[in-house]
Amino acid sequence: MVMRARLPGTSPVIMAMLMAGGLCAPDVRAQSTESLYEPIGHHSGGDVHAVDETPSYVVPDFAPAKAADPNKELPFFKIRLGLSLIGDWTDFSQDAVNESQIGRQENEFQVRSARLSLIGSVGGDYRVSYQVSGEYKGFDTNPEQKWKLTDASLTFPLGSRTKMTVGKTKETFSYEMVGDSANLPHSERVLTPFFTSRNFGVRFVQVLGANKAATFSAGAYKDSWDFGSSTDRGWDYSARMTGLIWDRPDHNEFLHVGVAYRHAAADGTIRYSGRAETNVGDVAIDTGKFAAQSSDGFAGEALLNVGPVSFLGEYILNRTNSREFRDPVFHGWYVTGSWILTGETRPYDRNVGYARRVIPKGRWGAPELVARYSEMDLDDNGIEGGRFKKTMLGLNWWATTRWKFGATWGHTWLDRFGERGESDTVLTRIQWIY
């Protein structure tokens, strides 16, 4: 969740200037921001690499990194810059019931994300990786903050197939969260009530199998360790296991499946809330704070990719340990379909167990049709947080290796306060990822 930015204002102007700079930039070699800085283990194919030759895109942009010179580096020190700039315009249409449920929603522009990252490694034969990221608004900040330190971590190799990360980092739960949020087919996450994006703790990632066909990750986190934290809920734990049960890398065909678990501590109360796949609208479903001791989340995920066509689905069941409300159970799920009309595919990163961004091969980029259906339910055992169903249709244009333009339309049915309200949203997005 993020703070809002309405036109006119300085933030949109800054956003426009930065993006204009990207459009007018010379043809220099930018670094890839997709793969882990130091890939885990070795295998025959499947890591994400920068393309060797860049088409002359119709939209001017930086060229991707050349493998021979991917970093500015010293013998024992490597560093690269990462930059994410995303701007949204959202248009709302509501019926009278929906307005009474969540209030009138105003059309507005938003700087969705402006993130600066420094990623690299230090050492000789044994190298320790580091990542530091600061963000203005964005996917992983809350409404009370404009700027936030989203990542601050060190990663230590433990043998050839295992790494340990210490510091502020992502938890190991939910495909929507562990993946690249800006590069998913759909524009916004929907399962946000059930996970925390970043937390402070220790995380392990292990790659399994001769061809790196499986991953296992787990972590322990404590909110009181975070920078500037004023809370101390206790320990949170998460784990995720993924595997390719069907894999034809030469044909860009695979079936990825995964399961995950998350235990979250509580300080006597818990609250779940979320928007209906939009970031600028008011909260659509909200349990409010209620007495609880902890919660346990169980997730299943699957991604079927056949060349340019893919289907991504995820389900989360969340059981809250509450004596007062007889352990209410909430859940949510979605299915997203994607078709890249020019034949490209999302490359699968075996180091982390999810697919990366679309890399267009032709001058005119890669258009992608996207459809999604999702449901969220926060009603159970006297807790009336509401529930909604939503359909979404969209078009992404991956214009270059960095630029993406998108437009989506969504229709939401919200059941809350004993009534059903309906609304439509049109989201247009422009993003540049360096």
Say if residue 418's pLDDT is above 80.
yes
Backbone angles phi, psi at 29, to 5 degrees: -90, 110
Contact 121, 130 (CB under 8 A): yes
Say if residue 137's pLDDT is above 80.
no
Q: How does the average pLDDT of the chain come out, rounded? A: 86
Can you give the pLDDT at residue 136?
A: 80
Backbone angles phi, psi at 65, to 5 degrees: -65, 145
Can you give the pLDDT at residue 73?
A: 57
Containing H/E element for 369? strand 366-380
Is 133 a member of any domain?
Answer: no
Can you give the pLDDT at residue 16?
A: 43
Can you give the pLDDT at residue 65?
A: 57
Q: Which structural domain range is residue 207 located in? A: 10-69+84-113+156-433
Instruction: Give me the number of domains the chain comprises.
Output: 1
pLDDT in tens, 18-49: 444 444 443 333 333 344 445 554 433 444 44
CA distance 72 to 66: 12
Is 134 a member of any domain?
Answer: no
Is 144 a member of any domain?
Answer: no
CA distance 170 to 179: 10
Contact 93, 104 (CB under 8 A): no
Can you give the pLDDT at residue 152?
A: 95
pLDDT in tens, 253-286: 999 999 999 999 999 999 999 999 888 889 999 9
Is 135 a member of any domain?
Answer: no
Is 2 a member of any domain?
Answer: no
Q: 181: domain CATH number?
A: 2.40.160.10
Is 45 a member of any domain?
Answer: yes
Tokens of 169: 């980092």
What pTM does this model have? 0.86
Is 162 a member of any domain?
Answer: yes
Can you give the pLDDT at residue 67?
A: 46
Is 305 a member of any domain?
Answer: yes
